Amino acid sequence: MRLSARLVLAGLTMMVGGSVASCSAAPGLAYAGGTTKPSPRISTASVPASGQAPVKTAPARPHLEVVGAPRGVKAKAGILADAANGQVLWAKAGYAIRPIASLTKVMTALVVIRAGSLDRKIRIPKSVLNYVAKYGANGAGLIPGQVVTAGELLQALLLVSGADAAYTLATSYGPGMGAFIAKMNATARELGLTHTRFTSPDGLPYPTGNSTYSTPAEMLELGEVAMRAPAFRSIVDERFFSMKKGPGHSSYWWGNSNELIGWYPGAIGIKTGFTVVAGHCLMFEAVRGGRALIGVVLGSPPTGPGAGAQDAARLLNWGFSLKQST
């Protein structure tokens, strides 16, 4: 199934440099409730409305000729920005509060990385099997009783999106689930993510499918912060991670669930997510011609595998096609 999605993505990458037309959705930053709310780092003045003249930017930023909007983006909400200066190129319901599924694991990884000691050895708890089974969660195949490092658990967390890895890290670094979730929410407040809330370390739909939530703009902020951490950045662009059998653990192999990696030219991350309520979600970044673009799509319809990646590819194609001059 993933192969078919990647074939679609391969076709999408050929659209770079093509004509750009307006889509029906207005690309403004709409906050839940209908009002607009400026972000601490993202200026709504940078977001063009359909049919408006090219955006005027601050002198320190390169001028971008923004024409129209990307075509065919089916996500219910999303945002695309220049990773170097934070200039928003496009947004759709950028401040709408929505469930974020496994994008949650980006915050889980950030909390662990900030705590440090990634070489610490952690024993996989027996309770992890019941946890994964109870919620029908995606797992990395971790075996209770085996001992792995926190860094290796981050590989399982970010690549294969293992809920068992999230559970193991949370219970170890909390210590305990409740304490860890409190740290996640405290970090969100520290970063100014005032419309973000976590109720799990993995984005699983409990107590309800909408309990863990954020906005595209705030997830963009989180992605920017996470990508500045070398330990995080070095993982999310890997196509796979393999670990040989060693003292206290079996061999493991984890492939990257992000369909962009290895297929979209210049893709360097970041993280996938899916639940029935949230739809397909993707936090992504790509580099081309010395430019880096970062974005988020939330609620891409579950029409098939890689729906979020298809939306991301359309946004990236459009973003990289914009003319840039200093």
Active-site residue, selected from the candidate residues 74, 76, 92, 105: 105
Q: Rounded to whole angstroms, how far apart are CA atoms 16 and 323?
A: 12
And the tokens for 289?
Answer: 């011609």
What the block records as the tokens of 101 is 């599924």
DSSP letter, residue 62: P
> How far, CA to CA in Å, does 210 sit from each of 146, 183, 205, 302, 305?
34, 20, 7, 17, 22
Choosing from 39, 46, 74, 161, the catalytic residue is 161
Please give the Cα distance from 256 to 271 (Å, whole number): 9
CA distance 246 to 74: 45
Q: Is 105 a catalytic residue?
A: yes
CA-closest candidate to residue 81, choices 233, 236, 227? 227
Q: For residue 201, say if its preceding peptide bond is cis, omega within 30 degrees of 0.
A: no
Single out the residue of 259, 266, 246 nearest to residue 317, CA to CA.
266
147's enclosing H/E stretch is: strand 147-149
Of 102, 214, 257, 300, the active-site residue reads 102
Q: What angle do CA 72, 5, 80 make, to 5 degrees?
A: 45
Letter for the amino acid at 186? A
Report the alpha-carbon distance of residue 172 to residue 249 in Å, rounded.
18
| Alpha helices in 72-148, H assignment, sequence order | 104-115, 127-135
Residues with a known catalytic role: 102, 105, 161
